[in-house]
Amino acid sequence: MNINTHTFVDSRQASGWHKAWWNLGLALMALNLAACSALDVLGGSKMSDLQLTVDVLNVSLKDAQRAMTELHAQVEVRNRELAETQVIRAQLEGRVQEAEHRLGEARHVISLQREELAESRIDRERIARTGTLLKGQLKQLRKQLSRIERQAAGGVSPASMDLSAEKPLRQVSIGMTETVSVDEAQEEHRGLPQVDEAMSGSTAVAQAAIPAMPSRVMIKHGDTLWSLAQRYRTTVQQLMTVNALSSDYIQAGQGLWVSETAIDGSYDVRR
């Protein structure tokens, strides 16, 4: 009897522990389900936030790409403008260099013209002095001729009629001065016809430079009208007149007509 009671009690205790474990398992399962459901709700909200963030990032990325494309286009436009500006700058630099070159040539021409002007002034002064000397000498010759006429009209013997020659005559050509000496001579009275011949001979003293036949020359590098005038013993104005030049500008390879001015040295009075 006691054995049966003890067996019954053991069976009752075993069934109680079994129920307790069963209830504990059910409680754990319920707790697990509740936790999973809470995690599912939390994960769903986080996934929606992440998806929203991803969408915003995609939109921002597209905006950034569009802005980058616009910036690339603007950079290309600026590069084209820069290239055009550089081309314009190169053209301006070329024009400036050409202007400086022309300015240098103009300064060189101006300096040459100043030299020619100074030389022409010196030539004019020489011509003026020579003209004054020739006028004085011509007056003296006329006085001598009038004296000869008076002596011839007064019947003076030829032996008593002596003439002293004039001082050395000076004949000046452009850029060149020559001094011609006249030896002392004695005039004999031959009558009035000889006096007329002496008068005609005295006019040869005042003869100016005789131009020779013109010849054509080719202009070389470094030649100017002034240097050509000095070389061929003429004037710049004469060269411009002969060649119908409006200015004194000449260039290499150009042909010009030049004529040397010959100096007439026959100043002897006819007898």
Has residue 157 been placed in a domain? no
CA–CA distance, 241 with 234 (Å, rounded to integer)? 12
Q: What is the pLDDT of residue 7?
A: 47
Per-residue pLDDT at 153 exceeds 70: yes
DSSP H or E stretch at residue 15: helix 2-153
Q: For residue 271, what pLDDT band results from cuts at 50, 70 and 90?
A: very low
CA distance 189 to 150: 11
Q: How many CB atoms lie within 10 A of CB 200?
A: 11
Distance, CA of 23 to CA of 26 (rounded, Å): 5
- Predicted pLDDT of residue 193: 41
Strands 210-211 and 261-262 come out as: antiparallel
Mean pLDDT highest for which of 71-85, 194-208, 256-270? Answer: 71-85
Eight-state DSSP code of residue 214: -
Residue 18 confidence (pLDDT): 62
- pLDDT, average across residues 150-178: 49
Phi-psi region of 141 (alpha: psi -120 to 50; beta: other; left: phi over 0): alpha
What is the C-alpha separation between 196 and 185, in angstroms, rounded? 18
Evaluate whether residue 137 is within a structural domain: no
Determine, yes or no, domain membership for 174: no
Range of the domain at 93: 1-125+207-271
Q: What pLDDT score was predicted for residue 82?
A: 95
Average the pLDDT over each of 22-31, 35-44, 187-196, 234-243 and give the range with the smallest value: 187-196
* Mean pLDDT, rounded, for 88-113: 94
Place of tokens 């005609």: 200
**26 within a domain of the structure (yes/no):** yes
pLDDT one-digit tens code per residue, 164-174: 444 443 443 33
In a domain, residue 168? The reply is no
Q: How far apart are CA 225 and CA 247, in angstroms?
A: 10
Integer Cα distance of 107 and 113 in angstroms: 10
The domain total for the chain is: 1
In this predicted model, what pLDDT tens digit does every residue of 4-61 receive, in sequence order? 444 444 555 556 666 667 767 677 776 666 665 555 555 556 778 888 888 888 888 8
Residue that wins the pLDDT comparison between 212 and 86: 86
Classify residue 161: in a domain, yes or no: no
Within-domain flag for 115: yes
Give the closest residue to 221 by CA, choosing from 115, 126, 108. 108
Residue 214 has a pLDDT of 67
DSSP code per residue over 79-128? HHHHHHHHHHHHHHHHHHHHHHHHHHHHHHHHHHHHHHHHHHHHHHHHHH
Residue 131 in domain: no
**DSSP per position, 160-211:** G---PPPSPEEEEETTEEEEE-----------HHHHHHHHHHHGGGG--PEE
pLDDT averaged over the chain? 71
Confidence grade of residue 80 (pLDDT, cut at 50, 70, 90): very high
Report the 10 Å Cβ neighbour count for 82. 10
Whichever domain contains 87, its CATH number is 3.10.350.10
Verdict on whether the full-model pTM lies above 0.75: no
- State the pLDDT at residue 138: 92
Give the per-residue pLDDT at 252: 84
Give the total residue count for the chain.
271
Per-residue pLDDT band for 182 (boundaries 50, 70, 90) equals very low
